[in-house]
């Protein structure tokens, strides 16, 4: 019985940790699209979003070819959007980058 209870407690703990950390869903282009259109991205203090300067991805067709794309994304966030740079390893950053890279397919 002790082994069963311990196993159950351990299993529940793993599920809760995974749920709280957000690692269950991972980055996605769909989430990136929401971020791209969100004027509050990265604690932005103005009413602009990525889509304000790049409606429908205009001007981003070659973005995936830019070896400094990660830096460019954060420069846009901290400059024109007035937000805080995103951690490049975060799910939000990777989702945003995936969405931006999807414009190369258009």
Q: Report the pLDDT averaged over residues 70-94.
A: 97
User: Could you give phi then psi for residue 6, rounded to 5 degrees?
Assistant: -65, -40
The pLDDT score that the predictor gives to residue 50 is 97
Domains, in order of start, for the chain:
26-105 (1.10.760.10)
Q: How confident is the model over 13-32, as pLDDT tens digits?
A: 333 333 344 445 799 999 99
**Measured torsion, CA atoms of residues 29, 30, 33, 38, in degrees rounded to the nearest 10:** -130
pTM: 0.75
- Per-residue confidence (pLDDT) for residue 14, from 0 to 100: 35
């Amino acid at each position: 019985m002790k082994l069963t209870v311990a196993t159950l407690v351990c299993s529940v703990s793993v599920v809760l940790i995974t749920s709280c950390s957000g690692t269950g869903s991972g980055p996605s282009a769909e989430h990136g699209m929401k971020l791209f259109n969100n004027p509050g991205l990265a604690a932005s203090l103005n009413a602009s979003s990525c889509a304000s300067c790049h409606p429908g991805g205009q001007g981003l067709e070659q973005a995936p070819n830019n070896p400094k794309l990660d830096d460019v994304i954060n420069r846009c966030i901290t400059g024109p959007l007035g937000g805080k740079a995103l951690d490049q390893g975060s799910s939000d950053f990777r989702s945003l980058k995936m969405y931006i890279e999807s414009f190369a397919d258009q």
